[in-house]
Structure 1
């Protein structure tokens, strides 16, 4: 009997280990159904931008949220704004400086479930060579076998040296920038 119980215990521990590994297994980003956008204001008028190329290394599991992780890498040269001249301008040294900082990254440190059924991710955003800790509320929704992670958060552009010199005046260009994300992940 002891031997049978020992095997059973080993089988349970092994299956728990495999379940834990499943929560850490990678998910593939579906780029055409994912988006990272931002909205800033110039002279009080909102201007929305978009990043057309980014990758995500993710293992998100609502059932094991504390073991979840994500790392997003954004190609800063893929930025687009409503007008071509704005797109060219935002890539320049005073703004994103895409020549010297071609990527921005977000790396999670912790995921948490909130009381209202939503989640929060805490992590580090590196933009233009500056790292800052951020927190973002998000929703996780299963659609078939896919997982949809959506959320938004606000950053202060001057914290990342975005828009320096004459553009540091927040009366002309607001300091607050809203970032929105939608990541569709396949198992």
Structure 2
């Protein structure tokens, strides 16, 4: 009896030590992806972008509720393509890139809405302030083993203390910031 019981216990212990099966991992194709933001300066829309970011994506479009997304954005790479503005963005009143070099997003729930559309809830942290956000997105095949996730949402910059001091005046720089993204993903799995 002991001869049969010992191997069975060893097998159970081994299986318990194994990690649970995770959702398929997809790889972000950074050079074919983008994160843009649009704000208004004195009523005129200005579009900027983050140049460096990375994401860890474990997501099965057929079972989205088990998926997760973690995003890290290098704040020092933010810019509008205008030298004067780009020099100000990393400074303390705006992103304070020296003290807070990264903005992050960590999903807490993903649900399917149908027709390739999804909704993701999670925590967005910018400049040391975290807020819950809901991000709608769509996924479409992009040929080969690639898919493209696109979406947008609006946040209020003052909620994250972006534009402190004299820049809290929203008649000069608007409070609403639309964030738009396009992530090209390799190995996402069938849609």
TM bucket normalised to smaller? 0.7 to 0.9
SS at match of 1:85: helix
Q: What is the Cα deviation at residue 82 of structure 1?
A: 2.3
**Take 1:46 and 1:116, find their aligned partners in 2: how far apart are those partners?**
31
SS at match of 1:57: strand
Aligned residue pairs, count: 167
- Unaligned stretches of 5+ residues in structure 2: 1-19
List aligned pairs for 1:1-187, cutoff 5 A.
Answer: 21=21, 24-115=23-114, 117-143=116-142, 144-187=144-187
Note if contact 1:39-1:48 (Cα within 8 Å) is conserved in structure 2.
yes
Q: Tell me what 2:9 maps to.
A: none
Q: What is the Cα deviation at residue 116 of structure 1?
A: 5.7
Note if contact 2:40-2:173 (Cα within 8 Å) is conserved in structure 1.
yes
Q: Could you tell which deviates more after superposition, 143-152 or 32-41? A: 143-152
Higher helix share: 1
Q: What is the Cα deviation at residue 24 of structure 1?
A: 1.4
**Take 2:94 and 2:79, find their aligned partners in 1: how far apart are those partners?**
13
Q: Could you tell which deviates more after superposition, 109-118 or 170-179? A: 109-118
**TM-score normalised per structure 1:** 0.85
Q: Tell me what 1:4 maps to.
A: none
**Take 2:61 and 2:25, find their aligned partners in 1: how far apart are those partners?**
14
**TM-score normalised per structure 2:** 0.84
**Take 2:99 and 2:23, find their aligned partners in 1: how far apart are those partners?**
33
Note if contact 1:147-1:185 (Cα within 8 Å) is conserved in structure 2.
yes
CA RMSD of aligned residues (A): 1.4
